[in-house]
Amino acid sequence: MPNLPIYLDNSATTPVDPRVVEKMLPWLTNRFGNPASSSHAFGREARAAVEAARAAVARLVNASAQDIIWTSGATESNNLALKGAAQANEARGRHLVSVQTEHNAVLDTLRDLESRGFTTTLLVPQSSGLLDLAAFEAALRPDTTLVSVMMVNNEIGVIQDIAAIGAICRARGIVLHVDAAQATGKVTIDLKALPVDLMSLTAHKTYGPKGIGALYVRKGTAALAPQMHGGGHERGMRSGTLATHQIVGMGECLRIAGEEMATEVPRLRALRDKLHRGLSALDCVRVNGDMQQRIANNLNISVMLPDCDQMIAMLTDVAVSSASACMGGGASHVLQSIYGGQPAPNAIRITVGRFNSEEEIDFALDYLTSKIRECQARKPVPAAA
């Protein structure tokens, strides 16, 4: 019997890898210098650690280290990318394009820009969760200056065709921002090949610490208006004293992810597919989102039964979710979008992680199956007279 409860919500956050913790610890104790203090050894060694981590992040996405800007996480990266690019390019136009299924850190930022006079087109994805490229291209206008499309959806795990989207944007001179918070360590990212101008990254979805992220800013093609002012840190784009310990942690977690992807992704896929086969054998289970264009560790299902609205509350021995952790417990706008505007019934997002074993997956499959069958066995509640 595995230790309970079993954590299967790795898209919400991941445990910090012990190797990452070990790398961070010295920067929380005796190696405490400010990376901006270049007049003494304490500051210089901190600066060297920051730059080594910057290079590690750049290697994972095949980018130049000078194009990596430190932030407090993907939410700040999204804000800096969208507000910064929209403001820097507003003389050319004020029309922005995105997708209904984006993370709230993108959608809420776009709403803020609308309050400042920008206009936004939010595209409806196909039922698979994938963007219709013809509809995307048709939505672009002469005054469109910025597009934001996430690489991997945080709820249903589908992988958008960023290469094709980027090619369309590049041909029109439109800045493309990609939220890749859920992609690192799960899909190959090659920013030397992808026509992407801005990319948001975070550590805590890839076994690193919370509170640290990065924004890739392609030099020469992406101008940003700073959103934080102070000491002119990070090429003037993001002022503030750098958190060396967190930066070191992000560099280490992404270094490990890059080294272990070749073996870890197939392992996660095998565990996820075992859950998929078992749960799909139940006639009341429907998979949400495309299963081919999807990251290896994600399974999002709906239990198509009327009397299971408290399903998640019943699952005390496994930690799963019904929507993004950033929804604050509200209904999933992602699933509502792919269900044609209707709420998805009894949705469960299961995301396998680095520290899950096959024994845990076997237990979770039996446990989830038994709970769903309990729902099936319930007599429908009669309607009120």
What backbone torsions phi and psi does residue 351 show, to the nearest 5 degrees? -130, 115
Cβ atoms within 10 Å of 190's Cβ, excluding its own: 11
Q: Which of 214, 216, 203 is nearest to 249 (CA)?
A: 203
| Mode of pairing for the β-strands spanning 6-7 and 318-319 | parallel
Q: Where are the alpha helices (DSSP H) in 141-227?
A: 162-172
CB-based contacts of 112, cutoff 8 Å, min separation 6? 83
Rg of the chain taking only CA atoms, in angstroms: 22
Rounded Cα distance between 241 and 126, Å, is 43
Residue with tokens 């990609």: 178
CB-based contacts of 325, cutoff 8 Å, min separation 6? 9, 11, 12, 13
**Catalytic member of 169, 284, 308, 326:** 326
Rounded Cα distance between 306 and 279, Å, is 18
Q: Is 308 a catalytic residue?
A: no
Cβ atoms within 10 Å of 64's Cβ, excluding its own: 14
Determine which helix (DSSP H) or strand (DSSP E) holds 76, and give its type and residue range: helix 74-88
Residue 378: C-alpha distances to residues 10, 280, 286, 375 (Å): 31, 20, 19, 5
- Active centre residues (catalytic): 326
